[in-house]
């Protein structure tokens, strides 16, 4: 007899899974037990038993990814074809202007064959999300709250060609551009950069042809690159470039505005947004096709399209609303007159108008009168609205009676009451501005209420120890902290605070003077600590939030359990000060030895980046295997690693003048993976093909020049292998092998 899970307990576990997901965390066994125990006071043993039974009867899904186990809520709506349902509802309503979501829901609720879908409580939210995705993919058009079918996207179907199974693009045959046919092609590397497989065996142990970059020779399986069969067919006909060598096919400049480069979903060419035809001001959503692969539009249709754009651009509203107030801005000039600036349609925009204002006293109203009385007084004078060209004197609002402006002929000076003083920029000195700025900063430091400026970064400045550092990018701190102009961080525990006074109180109570981990390396004033993300979770999360301020492509903030963090510190009598860090996965099938690396700005250009890279390969050699950084590399990471690989390769060849050299021997001595070695040798022009074999060529002049530079300016900080006190975990080595 099969034992079934208690439905009540299963419901509690599903609630806990949803709560954990809302917190952007992975629903592991530990988190589920903690959430259920907190909400319903259920012990951990019972929760684990009910969780296992729920997995057996299909109430909960168990997912394993990279050695980590998590649980999901099996949603019955995930098998529903929402695009088909939306198309059916819009075609059934048959409204030329479009249909709103309420009308679509009302139509679907009258369909008998969809009763099992409509009864689900998440139907309304899923329908709204599906409509939003359909608009982004080009299947639907949205005009305000109305949705309608996209008549022009029938051939494309709005599907991304990077996804397998997408319908083929109805495009013209791809052809080579003039500058592409004249350039030479690099010798391909017969190893996939992602799965380290060959054309005989890909990630799924199946034979698959490799796509090779025409510039550097790096190769990859189409399945590893997430290319569809149609895109793979088109790329094989072209001079394809990898993501690291990609250049704009229009301006042919590499490295310029890399963040604003678009990749065609038909030929995988790259184009800057300003180089597109027509130029783009923002990133397009869904499928994008370049001007080379885009089908040519009919001339007549294009002419009508341009005419409609011109009509919308120069269209003017007919007539003018009479009962609405015209918002105008009045500025006092030096001669006592007023400057009136009108909106659209006002004659003489920005011209100086000299008008007269008289005060009319409403004698009927008595009692307590203030500046808003004319809006709440039953007198016709008080309710009369100001017309175009009228300006209300600010001194009239300071009186104790209701007033209404009256129009006078131009040329009469404005009458001002005694005691009214116009404050302009001429009356404010630089000393006043400086005093005001100091008081404002002092107030913000005391209560932490200064908001951000127009810098576009959240926060713009951090105070870290004795340094005040300007951030490079935004970081997802909680909203009450990210909206501050300056954020204060403890340099030992990395806790973030709102103001200086809180940081000072925290420093008196904080007992941390080093990272919460074991010290595995020490030489002179440098130390390296190994921090487990599963043990010191809060510290590692704060470290990731700090790193995001200086790394553009970092996406991991809270799920730190599967990672190890190696913290580099500089020591003095006050403690161990953070210099930088790198992280790597505990269980990595690709044998990546670095997932993320960062050096604090105040310690950059001092050799600490190379120190951490060299330290990661030292740990790799201790583990007895070859390693490589996680791909793809960022722009700064690619430059740093390429410079490191070149120097290591040249110094290895200098130390081995007469011995037989092989890629495997270099890999065992340096810890670098064979693919990185082959790519570095190609950059150094030290590899050639002779008689069907690849041969390493020594360039003695290059080697001697490098060693002379190294003797002239020695490196500041180097890793000493004898100072390392660390042994690899047997469990990690067995799991990788």
Enzyme catalytic residues: 630
Tally of residues, the chain: 737
Judge whether 490 and 507 are in contact, CB under 8 Å.
yes
The SS3 of residue 168 is coil
- Residue 564 phi, psi dihedral angles, 5° rounding: -110, 140
Other residues' Cβ atoms within 10 Å of the Cβ of residue 85: 17
The DSSP code for 325 is P
Please state at what angle helix 663-670 crosses helix 674-683, rounded to 10 degrees.
110
Query: Tokens standing for 298?
Result: 């009919």
* Rounded Cα gap, residues 516 and 539, in angstroms: 8
Residue whose pair of structure tokens reads 């116009």 in the numeric block: 422
Judge whether 39 and 12 are in contact, CB under 8 Å.
yes
Judge whether 134 and 87 are in contact, CB under 8 Å.
no
- For 647, counting Cβ atoms within 10 Å of its Cβ (0-12 exposed, 13-18 middle, 19+ buried), the class is middle
* Rounded Cα gap, residues 138 and 447, in angstroms: 48
Other residues' Cβ atoms within 10 Å of the Cβ of residue 658: 5
* Rounded Cα gap, residues 365 and 294, in angstroms: 72
- Torsion, Cα 600 604 609 611, to 10 degrees, reads -100
* Rounded Cα gap, residues 129 and 114, in angstroms: 18
Four-residue CA torsion sign, 134, 140, 142, 148: negative
* Rounded Cα gap, residues 192 and 221, in angstroms: 6
Judge whether 472 and 549 are in contact, CB under 8 Å.
yes
Judge whether 569 and 527 are in contact, CB under 8 Å.
yes
């Amino acid at each position: 007899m099969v034992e079934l899970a208690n439905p009540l307990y299963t419901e509690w576990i599903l609630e806990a899974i949803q709560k954990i997901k809302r917190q952007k965390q992975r629903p592991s066994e530990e988190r589920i037990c903690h959430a259920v125990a907190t909400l319903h006071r259920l012990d951990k043993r019972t929760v684990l038993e009910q969780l296992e039974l729920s997995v057996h009867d299909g109430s909960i899904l168990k997912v394993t990814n990279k050695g980590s186990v998590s649980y999901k809520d099996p949603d019955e709506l995930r098998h529903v074809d929402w695009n088909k349902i939306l198309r059916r509802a819009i075609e059934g309503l048959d409204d030329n202007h479009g249909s709103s979501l309420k009308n679509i829901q009302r139509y679907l609720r009258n369909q008998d064959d969809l009763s099992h879908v409509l009864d689900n409580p998440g139907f309304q939210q899923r329908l709204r999300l599906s409509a939003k995705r359909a608009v982004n993919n080009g299947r639907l058009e949205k005009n305000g709250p109305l949705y309608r079918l996209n008549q022009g996207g029938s051939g494309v179907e709005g599907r991304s060609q990077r996804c397998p199974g997408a319908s083929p693009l109805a495009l013209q045959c791809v052809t080579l551009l003039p500058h592409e046919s004249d350039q030479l092609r690099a010798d391909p590397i017969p190893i996939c950069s992602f799965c380290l497989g060959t054309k005989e065996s890909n990630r799924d142990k199946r034979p698959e042809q490799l796509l090779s970059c025409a510039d550097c020779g790096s190769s990859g399986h189409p399945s590893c690159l997430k290319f569809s069969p149609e895109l793979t067919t088109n790329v094989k006909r072209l001079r394809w470039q990898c993501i690291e060598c990609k250049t704009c096919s229009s301006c042919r400049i590499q490295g310029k505005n890399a963040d604003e480069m678009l990749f065609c979903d038909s030929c995988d060419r790259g184009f800057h947004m300003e180089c597109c035809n027509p130029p783009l001001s923002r990133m397009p959503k869904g499928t994008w096709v370049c001007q080379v692969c885009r089908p040519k539009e009919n001339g007549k249709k294009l002419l009508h399209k341009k005419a409609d754009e011109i009509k919308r651009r120069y269209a003017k509203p007919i007539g003018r609303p009479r009962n609405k107030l015209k918002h105008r801005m009045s500025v006092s000039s030096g001669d006592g007159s007023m400057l009136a600036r009108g909106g659209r349609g006002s004659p003489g925009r920005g011209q100086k108008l000299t008008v007269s204002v008289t005060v009319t006293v409403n004698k009927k109203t008595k009692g307590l009168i203030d500046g808003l009385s004319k809006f709440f007084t039953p007198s016709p004078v008080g309710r009369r609205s100001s017309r175009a060209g009228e300006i209300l004197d600010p001194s009239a609002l300071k009186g104790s009676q209701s007033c209404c402006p009256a129009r006078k002929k131009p040329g009469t000076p404005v009458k001002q009451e005694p005691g009214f003083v116009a404050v302009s920029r001429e009356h404010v000195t630089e000393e006043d501005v400086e005093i005001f700025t100091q008081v404002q900063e002092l107030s913000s430091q005391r209560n932490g209420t200064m908001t951000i400026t127009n810098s576009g970064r959240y926060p713009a400045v951090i105070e870290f120890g004795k340094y005040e550092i300007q951030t490079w990018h935004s970081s997802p701190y909680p909203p009450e902290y990210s909206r501050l102009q300056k954020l204060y961080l403890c340099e030992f525990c990395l806790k973030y605070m709102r103001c200086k006074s809180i940081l000072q109180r925290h420093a008196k109570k904080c007992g941390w003077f080093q990272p919460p981990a074991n010290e595995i390396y020490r030489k002179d004033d440098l130390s390296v600590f190994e921090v487990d993300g599963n043990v010191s979770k809060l510290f590692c999360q704060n470290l990731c939030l700090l790193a995001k301020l200086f790394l553009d492509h970092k996406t991991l903030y809270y799920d730190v359990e599967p990672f190890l963090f190696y913290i580099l510190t500089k020591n003095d009598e006050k403690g161990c000060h953070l210099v930088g860090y790198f992280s790597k996965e505990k269980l990595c099938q690709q044998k990546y030895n670095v997932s993320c690396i960062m050096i604090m700005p105040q310690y950059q250009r001092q050799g600490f980046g190379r120190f951490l890279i060299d330290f990661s390969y030292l740990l790799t050699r201790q583990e007895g295997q070859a390693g490589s950084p996680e791909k793809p590399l960022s722009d700064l990471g690619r430059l740093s690693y390429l410079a490191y690989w070149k120097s290591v390769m040249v110094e290895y060849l200098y130390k081995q003048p007469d011995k037989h050299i092989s890629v495997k021997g270099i890999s065992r001595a340096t810890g670098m993976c064979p693919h990185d070695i082959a790519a570095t040798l190609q950059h150094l022009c030290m590899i050639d093909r002779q008689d069907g074999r690849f041969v390493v060529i020594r360039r003695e002049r290059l080697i001697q020049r490098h060693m002379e530079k190294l003797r002239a300016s020695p490196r500041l900080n180097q890793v000493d292998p004898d100072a390392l006190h660390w042994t690899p975990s047997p469990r990690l080595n067995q799991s990788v092998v």
